Amino acid sequence: MLFEVRCAGCGALGWCPCARCIAALADPEPAWIAGAQSVALLFSHDDVGREFVHALKYRGERAIARWLGDSLALAHLAARDGPASIDPAAIDTVTWAPTTAAHRRARGFDQAETLARSTARALGVRPAKLLRRVGSAAQSGASRDVRLAGPRFEGRSRAGGCRVLLVDDVVTTGATLRAATAALVGAGAQTVHVAACARRGRDRVPADA
């Protein structure tokens, strides 16, 4: 059977995403995540970028998930820096910051896990669940103070000695990725790199907050 492929940004039939929507993506403002060796971001969470994220997050569209995973892999490789003797783009596994159990039940999947698996496939490495979310509080829709406090994660022992790429869909205050990075480092990860699809402007705070 043949299935329609439509652009996640404009709904045009044929490609996901279409060239026009890709060209319309706005560059994100940079984000700094404490403990991360590098941070790669794809686009701003505005207009077309927001539609891309919603297509993944709320509709589970596979075509946009594949494109985002490929793009996160390329963005990570482009974000590398550091001493010439060290290749921070070399990673052992890709992981994600798990969503709440309630969100996973409501959507039927975890969008961050979907992204991580797609990114890992593009990089030719195995994905691994290296984090456990502690508690049930969600970041989406929460107040600025709650967002800044962030969720809590526990790193799994399998993270020990690994060079990890941590993937997520949206960065707002960065609290989720800071907490996830700290948990991975606490579990013994050798290095942690971060890659996220969108940078949201609302509730933005100084990098050292």
Average pLDDT value over all residues in the chain: 87
Q: How far is CA 146 from CA 16, 103, 131, 164, 187, in A?
A: 35, 17, 21, 27, 25
Whether residue 207 is predicted with pLDDT greater than 50 in this model: the reply is no
Q: What average pLDDT does this structure show over 107-124?
A: 95
The sign of the dihedral angle between the CA atoms of 54, 59, 60, 62 is negative
> Among 92-101, 127-136, 157-166, 181-190, which stretch is predicted with the lowest mean pLDDT?
127-136
Percent of the chain with pLDDT over 90: 72
Identify the residue with better confidence: 4 or 39. 39
Query: What 8-state DSSP symbol labels residue 35?
Result: T
> Residue 46: which pLDDT band, with cuts at 50, 70 and 90?
very high
Do the beta carbons of residue 46 and residue 104 sit within 8 Å? no
